[in-house]
Each structure stands twice: as C-alpha cells, then as structure tokens.
C-alpha cells in the first residue's frame, strides 16, 4: 500500500487511461443518449461533479447530471446514459439506484468500479464497464482514476475533448503551499468559497478536509453567499477561516469588499489562485493542493489521513 504522500506525488499517473481495463464498451457504439447521469456517493461521487462542471470545456453535447443520493431526481431527458460509480463496489445507495435503473426498459447503463458487488453485477448483466485496482487507497485519493474511467466510457459515445495527462503545477510548490494553508487552518473550521462555475472544487476541498484532516469544512458559492451566509458572522461565534479559490474570471472587487467586511467581524481570509491553462488543469491542480493541505493538517494534529472512524461506525 502506497502512503498517502506517495500517492499524491504520483497523482499525475491517474490523469490518463493507464491502469484501466474495459469490458463490453463496444455495446455503446450504437447508443445515442440525450443526457448523462452519473451517480455515486462520497469520494466516488466526486468524478460526477467534476464531469458536470467540465462538460462544456470537454464539448459534451448533452446535459450532465451528477447524483449523490439513493434515488434519481426527476430527469428532463428521456434517453440518458446512466453511469454508476463506486470505488469499493459496495456503496448501498449506488447499488440501489443501479438496480432501479436496470428495471427501466432499454436503459443504457455503464459501471465504473474497483470491485465488489458492482463489479459482479456489471459482469452478470454484461454492462459496459471500466475496472481498476484499488491499491489500498481511499475513494477520495482516486477521484482522477474514476473520472478517466467515465471518460473512457464516454469516448465510445461522443468525440469529447479531454486532456490526457494534463499539466500539473510543481509538486514541491503545491506541497509547500499546502503546509502554509494547513498552518493557517489549524484549530479552525474552514469555509471554502468559490465562484459558481468552480463549485465542484469547493466540494472536493470540503471532502478532503473533512475526511483526511478530520477538520469541519463547509463550501459555498459566490455571489449567492453574499446574499445570506455572510449575515451569520455578525454573531462572532466559532473560529473560522475562509479559503477563497479564485480564478481570473472572478469579480475581484466584490470579493475584496466581502473580505473587508468579514475581516471587520474577525473572520480571516486566504486567497488561493486557481492555476492552469484551462478549466481542466485548474481543476486538477486545485484538487491536488486540497489533498496536500488536508494531509499536512492531518500531520499537524497527528491524525491518520486514511481512517474515517465515524463514517465506519455509521456504516456498521
């Protein structure tokens, strides 16, 4: 089993189709969906929310909906391609939706998994599938691997635009910045604020800080947060820090005003620029930085970055 740090150092290896094995993908050649529905929970739900936000840049010609629930929402398209994602293959909510979908006449369904019941079910039902080795990792460490598994499925349906091995920022710089952010966040609860178009990054940062660092974290989006959430800080309760994930397209003046106002209420803010030549690179660089930050925060507090005892207790 690779250490958490070793896996982050080799993160770029996930940003490709290496290590993925496919089954029955040829059956997708005649499928013409008018929507994509990706369903998964926890770390296995991350690839779906990434795809949803990168769909335009990737030139996916139909709507993408990410579902993180135990039931499907009411869909506005009639012939979707359903994609079940479960790192372990044992996720109860994902299996529940999948079994419901399989009862729909002529439904197009695919699976992405590292094993378990989902893999067995996919083989039995002869579903188009992409499998991978879990390698002793956690789902949140393997979000890129699962994302490229989804892309491999979609490549049999649409000519989409995805970066194979996108350019990442310097690892040493990301690690050092992660250390600084971890020290800033130590003994605080963290708010992650992003523009709406980067809401997927807020959710990933929240997940990694919650699970890896065992630090309460919450995400919201600009400009919506300026109409409600900031009012709550007037009470001056809690020990908060805000991580602003900022892109060049963000309205900097309005954010500066929010930072100034909240600073007057005793709320510290740290601006974290999104780096990369396009939205895909910005996404993966920010996700990798979130991992480094959460890992360094776990180190500061002598916490095992992979264990999630409270979640395990709930599952039992």
Beta-ladder partners of 22? 130
At 232, list the tokens: 């709550």
The per-residue pLDDT for range 272-302, each reduced to its tens digit, is: 999 999 999 999 999 999 999 999 999 999 9
pTM: 0.94
Q: Tell me how many domains the chain contains.
A: 2
At 2, the pLDDT band (50, 70, 90 cuts) reads low
166 part of a folded domain:
no
Helices and strands in the chain, H and E counts: 10, 10
Distances (CA, A) of 38 to 55, 180, 202, 262: 12, 35, 19, 37
The pLDDT of residue 27: 94
10 part of a folded domain:
no
159 vs 40: which has the higher pLDDT? 40
185 part of a folded domain:
yes
261 vs 146: which has the higher pLDDT? 146
Q: DSSP for 198-237, please give it.
A: GHHHHHHHHHHHHHTS---EEEEEETGGGGTGGGGGGG--
Tokens 């500066």 belong to 256
Calculated CA dihedral for residues 314, 48, 65, 36, nearest 10 degrees: -120
8 part of a folded domain:
no
Provide the 8-state DSSP code for 83.
E
The pLDDT of residue 225: 92
Same domain, 23 and 54: yes
Average pLDDT of span 203-227 = 95
Domain range for 108: 17-154
SS3 for 275? coil
The per-residue pLDDT for range 105-121, each reduced to its tens digit, is: 999 999 999 999 999 99
191 vs 232: which has the higher pLDDT? 191
Beta-ladder partners of 23? 129
- Residue 77: give its domain's CATH number: 3.40.50.10490
Q: How far apart are CA 78 and CA 83, in angstroms?
A: 15
Q: What are φ and ψ of residue 315, in 5° steps?
A: -65, -40
Same domain, 39 and 142: yes
Same domain, 30 and 85: yes
Q: Is the pLDDT of residue 1 over 60?
A: no
């Amino acid at each position: 089993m690779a250490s958490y740090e070793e896996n982050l150092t080799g993160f770029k290896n996930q940003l490709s189709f290496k290590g993925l094995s496919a089954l029955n993908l040829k059956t997708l050649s005649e499928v013409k969906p008018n929507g994509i529905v990706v369903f998964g929970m926890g770390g296995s739900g991350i690839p779906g929310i990434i795809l949803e936000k990168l769909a335009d840049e990737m030139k996916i010609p139909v709507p993408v909906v990410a579902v993180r629930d135990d039931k499907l929402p009411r869909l506005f398209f009639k012939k979707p391609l359903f994609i079940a994602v479960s790192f372990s293959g044992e996720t109860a909510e994902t299996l529940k939706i999948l079994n419901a979908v399989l009862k729909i006449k002529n439904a197009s369904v695919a699976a992405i998994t590292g094993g378990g019941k989902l893999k067995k079910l996919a083989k039995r039902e002869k579903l188009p599938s992409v499998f991978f080795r879990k390698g002793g990792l956690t789902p949140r460490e393997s979000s890129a691997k699962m994302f490229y598994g989804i892309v491999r499925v979609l490549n049999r349906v649409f000519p989409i635009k995805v970066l194979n091995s996108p350019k990442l920022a310097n690892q040493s710089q990301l690690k050092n910045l992660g250390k600084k952010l971890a020290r800033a966040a130590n003994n605080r609860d963290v708010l992650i604020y992003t523009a709406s178009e980067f809401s997927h990054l807020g959710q990933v940062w929240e997940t990694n800080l919650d699970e890896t660092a065992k630090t309460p974290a919450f995400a919201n989006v600009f400009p919506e947060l300026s109409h409600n959430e900031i009012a709550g800080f007037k009470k001056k309760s809690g020990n908060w820090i805000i991580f602003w994930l900022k892109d060049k397209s963000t309205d900097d003046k309005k954010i500066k005003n929010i930072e100034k106002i909240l600073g007057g209420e005793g709320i510290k803010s740290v601006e974290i620029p999104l780096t990369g030549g396009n939205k895909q690179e910005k996404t993966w660089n920010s996700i990798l930085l979130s991992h480094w930050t959460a890992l360094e925060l776990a180190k500061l507090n002598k916490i095992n970055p992979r264990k999630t005892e409270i979640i395990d207790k709930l599952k039992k």
